[in-house]
Structure 1
């Protein structure tokens, strides 16, 4: 395999990863009309987990 061909293939997986992530975000975000959507629930869970984490970190030793 030539060097030029190998260099051209280096970015292929990142493009595929980006397409899959965009499709997943679109699929989760389509139903984000109300508070019961999957994406809204996921964001609420992440927000709650981060608040609990930051509270635990801020406690004195």
Structure 2
């Protein structure tokens, strides 16, 4: 088999660990409304509202 077979799937594990660490770091201070993760979620929500409004306009 070789070393290539042993490393198969390693990048997905590393990606999962990095994403979990990032989510934990952003979510640590989610107790109040001024946390980074809460602000990010609010920005995504506002951007989606603007996008869906623009899509619904007639041509």
CA RMSD, aligned part only?
A: 1.1
Deviations 1:2-61 (A, max 9, x none): x45423312100100000000000011010000000000000000000000011011111
User: Structure 1 residue runs of 4+, over 3 Å off?
Assistant: none
- Number of equivalences: 59
Instruction: Give TM-score scaled by structure 1 length.
Output: 0.87
Instruction: Give TM-score scaled by structure 2 length.
Output: 0.90
Aligned to 2:40: 42
Gaps of 5+ in 2: none
Gaps of 5+ in 1: none
Aligned to 1:7: 5
